[in-house]
Structure 1
Amino acid sequence: MSTPLVSIVVPSYNHAQFLRAGLAAARAQSMPDWEMILIDDGSSDDSVEIARDVASEDDRIQVFVNERNLGTYGTQERARSIARGRYIAVLNSDDLWEPTKLQAQVELLEEHDEACFAYTLGWKIDENGVVDRSDDVHFDWPTTPIQELLPYLLYENRVLASSVLFRADDLRFEPSMRYSGDWVALLGSARRGPAACVPERLTYWRIHSSNTFVRSPNQVHEEIRVRRAIHEDWSTWFVGRIPKEKILRGLGMNVLNLAALEILRGERTAAVGAAISAARILPDKRMAVRRLGACLLPKARERLWPRDETKFEGRTPSLLPLRIP
């Protein structure tokens, strides 16, 4: 069996109504040299049956079922360990691709050996596939073909998970993550080298009632865990190819956001500490001073999160240390 150029990793979980369309989008790729590792994580709907039905028509597709629920990134890590391709693409089981997506990324990475991964732009779509052009998830991020994305990724992630094509070497997904594993993988890759960007809307991120993007206490706690890891790994982010000032701004904005999340979950002392750290790091102190003031004033949550209704009840979970690879 010949080695495929690209391994498409599909973590599948209870997305039966969207899965067939996603697999069709993968099979419609103009670059045919791929294998697909689809792993179902214990779906209670018809996802496994649909996957096996599609696989019976295309011998490039392998279907596996986890013996126990591993979560999105535990499942992706298992698929990564099986994958044989030089490149690894993630396709979430409710998302879609344009037909030229993989070909455009492979050509860019083949041209630029220094790039550790490639991503595309994209749009949000709803349950019916209607595109939402009112919200540009990429905001003002760079769209140049080769770019240093690390300073941006240090404080947030605007790269769509299903838009990324990684080089297989050194890639690892953190199995303990349930929501932020794509961000952690991107951070590790962006620390090692530049990113490549295909500035076309070739990926569609589906937003619906049952996907894991919806904010929840567990999602907030996991984001805090990642932000703490970024802050605690302070010295590892200063790579010689990126100006120190850009890294400092990314690190400062990270703890600024951490302060707001600590307020959201009712941890004022931790929030104040994070805001003070931001004031020490950011070259321009004004944002940090404003955030510190908001954390200290009464009704801090209402000031920082006026429309957020996330309820934090019971005991706060222990946030285990995280090492970003």
Structure 2
Amino acid sequence: MTLPLISVALCTYNGEKYIEAQLNSLIHQTYKNLEIIIVDDGSTDDTARLIQQMAANDGRIKFYRNEQNLGFNQNFQKAIGLTTGEYIAICDQDDIWAENKIEILHQHIGDNWLIFSNSSCIDEQDKTLEWNILRDFNFGSRNYKSILLHNWVTGHTTLFKREFLDYLLPIPPYGYYDWWMGFVALYHNKITYLDQVLTRYRIHSASVTQQEQNITEKAYKLKWLEIVLTMVNNFRQYKNLAAADQLYINKLYRALASKKHSLISFPLLSIINRDYHNFFPDSKQRKPLSRLNFAFKFAKGFKFLKP
């Protein structure tokens, strides 16, 4: 029996240092019926030459270069548009995949639109660090509210079906594409999690994870709020939202926005207190007083923070 074609969508930008290792981990996948779609977004280093060199030796690699920089989300959407496979996997330019990653994800996706897995972390010298991307994570039974305030779907761990694109696209130009993917799939209850480490995720000076560790607490909290506001604004505009859910997300957006200029956002306190277990299903169960105390701290405005 012929296995379905699976496309790997890979976006690059000045990734010369690690692109060969990433591509080698794709080329040697145990699942062989692949196409590897690479779209470069205007690299000024040696990335393009290295890719072209590897593409000359493997016909599954198809390489495209943008005439002008599109930015990651739009470049990612372009890469998806160039794929032809029944399934699509997302790939960063600097990680290393387990050789059976695609095979295992394909085996476990079932009737879902999207499956995601876990990643270990490595440094610039390929040394394994002491933590995984998802820690103490139990997918269990959760609804769309669990992904409104924080993302637990990392794009480089995903495999999804082409039919998902009818719901996923267009990808909002601002925010995180994988957070959007997770929200849309979860909203329709068409997502599953495989608790296996199938990717070695690289943390280096240019990575988002490392950049977030290098800023002050106040700057981090302000940045977090801006990111969440961007994503919640995206979610409330999702084309297939039920009216009641759109009303709820609009209410959450306004409550979050008021946090920027208030001592405390009482609307946010009320929402978090009422829906704590939906927002934070992986956190400890709290009794009413503890839950209210948590909601109060969460709803504190930035006037409480020292410069």
- 1:36-115 alignment, distance < 5 Å: 36-109=36-109, 112-113=110-111, 115=112
Contact 2:261 2:302 in 1 (8 A): no
CA displacement, residues 86-134 of structure 1 (integer Å, 9 cap, x when unaligned): 111000111221001000011122xx22x1111122112111121112x
- 1:96-175 alignment, distance < 5 Å: 96-109=96-109, 112-113=110-111, 115-133=112-130, 135-142=131-138, 150-171=144-165, 172=168, 174-175=170-171
CA displacement, residues 12-34 of structure 1 (integer Å, 9 cap, x when unaligned): 11111011100011111000001
Q: Is 1:201–2:236 an aligned residue pair?
A: no
Tell me, in whole angstroms, the C-alpha distance in 2 between the residues paired with 1:293 and 1:183. Answer: 25
One-letter code aligned to 1:74: Q
| Equivalent residue for 1:184, pick from 176, 180, 185 | 180
Q: Which moved more, 1:95-104 or 1:225-234?
A: 225-234
> Counterpart in 2 of 1:244?
none
One-letter code aligned to 1:117: L
Tell me, in whole angstroms, the C-alpha distance in 2 between the residues paired with 1:262 and 1:15. Answer: 39
Deviation at 1:153, TM superposition (A): 2.4
Taking a change above 3 Å as real, the CA distance of residues 238 and 262 of structure 1, as seen in their structure-2 partners, is: closer
> Counterpart in 1 of 2:230?
225
Tell me, in whole angstroms, the C-alpha distance in 1 between the residues paired with 2:15 and 2:96. Answer: 13
Taking a change above 3 Å as real, the CA distance of residues 224 and 93 of structure 1, as seen in their structure-2 partners, is: same
Contact 2:262 2:302 in 1 (8 A): no
Tell me, in whole angstroms, the C-alpha distance in 2 between the residues paired with 1:209 and 1:174. Answer: 31
CA displacement, residues 150-195 of structure 1 (integer Å, 9 cap, x when unaligned): 4532332222221100111132355544551111012111222332
- 1:4-19 alignment, distance < 5 Å: 5-19=5-19
Contact 1:5 1:86 in 2 (8 A): yes
> Counterpart in 1 of 2:30?
30
Contact 1:179 1:212 in 2 (8 A): no
- 1:202-281 alignment, distance < 5 Å: 202-213=198-209, 214-215=211-212, 221-230=226-235, 236=242, 259=256, 266-268=260-262, 271-281=265-275
SS of 1:170 mapped into structure 2 = helix
Taking a change above 3 Å as real, the CA distance of residues 23 and 34 of structure 1, as seen in their structure-2 partners, is: same
Deviation at 1:219, TM superposition (A): 7.0
Tell me, in whole angstroms, the C-alpha distance in 2 between the residues paired with 1:37 and 1:180. Answer: 20
SS of 2:305 mapped into structure 1 = helix
User: What percent identity do the matched residue pairs reach?
Assistant: 20
Tell me, in whole angstroms, the C-alpha distance in 1 between the residues paired with 2:8 and 2:47. Answer: 17
SS of 2:76 mapped into structure 1 = helix
Tell me, in whole angstroms, the C-alpha distance in 2 between the residues paired with 1:74 and 1:270. Answer: 36
Tell me, in whole angstroms, the C-alpha distance in 2 between the residues paired with 1:293 and 1:153. Answer: 20
Tell me, in whole angstroms, the C-alpha distance in 2 between the residues paired with 1:272 and 1:296. Answer: 9
Taking a change above 3 Å as real, the CA distance of residues 173 and 131 of structure 1, as seen in their structure-2 partners, is: farther
One-letter code aligned to 2:68: R
Contact 2:171 2:180 in 1 (8 A): no
Taking a change above 3 Å as real, the CA distance of residues 55 and 299 of structure 1, as seen in their structure-2 partners, is: same
Deviation at 1:139, TM superposition (A): 2.3
Taking a change above 3 Å as real, the CA distance of residues 153 and 219 of structure 1, as seen in their structure-2 partners, is: closer
Contact 1:101 1:202 in 2 (8 A): yes
Deviation at 1:203, TM superposition (A): 1.0
> Counterpart in 1 of 2:215?
none
One-letter code aligned to 1:193: N
Aligned pair count reads: 280
Deviation at 1:206, TM superposition (A): 1.3
Contact 1:279 1:285 in 2 (8 A): no
Show structure 2 runs of 5+ residues with no match: 213-219, 278-287
